[in-house]
């Protein structure tokens, strides 16, 4: 058993999961801030140089988990580890955001898909990408093909 404490909280325009774009072709363009607790401010030094960040956070309003579930992007069930479902054994979320600017302990970012008030566990620089030509997207590519997208 491992214990974690938030390093800060997300301020986003979303107060209900219904407002968050989901499913095929969903685009996350929402802007907001990552508000880091003052005691961790020194850990943000030099973060301004990165265009994109990984944010590791908690689905704090999700309850329980299901190992097989049908995501909004398909009408067939898939294993939870092959989806981004919030109902996970460890309810941890991962989002790549674009860093717009920093103001002290506030990181202004674009690409949020979390609810307002979401606890943040960690932030890391996004350093490299998998080249598009070597990426396979499993059931999601198939679901898109079936829907003619």
Q: Which spans of this chain sit near its own copies (rule: CB under 8 A)? A: 1-7, 36, 40, 42-52, 54, 56, 58, 60, 67-68, 77-84, 88-90, 92, 94, 96, 119, 121-132, 134-142
Q: Which is nearer to its own copies, 14 or 123 (CB)?
A: 123
Tell the smallest beta-carbon distance from residue 87 to its own copies (Å). Answer: 10
CA-to-CA distance for 9 and 116, rounded, in angstroms?
Answer: 8
Q: Is the dihedral of CA 62, 91, 26, 69 positive or negative?
A: negative
Please give the DSSP secondary-structure letter assigned to residue 92. E
Tell the smallest beta-carbon distance from residue 28 to its own copies (Å). Answer: 11
Q: Which is nearer to its own copies, 20 or 77 (CB)?
A: 77
CA-to-CA distance for 85 and 95, rounded, in angstroms?
Answer: 13
Tell the smallest beta-carbon distance from residue 41 to its own copies (Å). Answer: 8
Q: Which is nearer to its own copies, 32 or 71 (CB)?
A: 71
CA-to-CA distance for 28 and 94, rounded, in angstroms?
Answer: 13
Helix (H) or strand (E) holding 9: strand 8-11
CA-to-CA distance for 35 and 11, rounded, in angstroms?
Answer: 7
Tell the smallest beta-carbon distance from residue 148 to its own copies (Å). Answer: 19
Tell the smallest beta-carbon distance from residue 144 to its own copies (Å). Answer: 11
Which tokens hold the place of 49? Answer: 């140089």
Q: Which is nearer to its own copies, 47 or 116 (CB)?
A: 47
Q: Which is nearer to its own copies, 25 or 148 (CB)?
A: 25
Q: For residues 44 and 105, is the Cβ–Cβ distance under 8 A?
A: yes
């Amino acid at each position: 058993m491992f214990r974690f404490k938030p390093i800060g909280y997300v301020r986003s325009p979303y107060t209900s999961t219904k407002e968050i774009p989901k499913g095929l072709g969903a685009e996350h363009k929402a802007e907001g801030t990552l508000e880091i607790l003052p005691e961790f401010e020194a850990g943000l030094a030099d973060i301004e140089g990165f265009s994109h960040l990984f944010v590791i956070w908690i689905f704090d309003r999700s309850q329980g988990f299901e190992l097989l579930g049908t995501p909004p992007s398909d009408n067939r069930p898939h294993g939870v580890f092959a989806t981004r479902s919030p109902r996970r054994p460890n309810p941890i979320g991962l989002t790549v955001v674009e860093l717009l600017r920093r103001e002290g302990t506030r990181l202004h970012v674009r690409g949020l898909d979390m609810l307002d008030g979401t606890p943040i566990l960690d932030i890391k620089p996004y350093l490299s990408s998998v080249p598009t030509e070597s990426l396979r997207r499993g059931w999601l590519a198939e679901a898109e093909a079936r829907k003619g997208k």
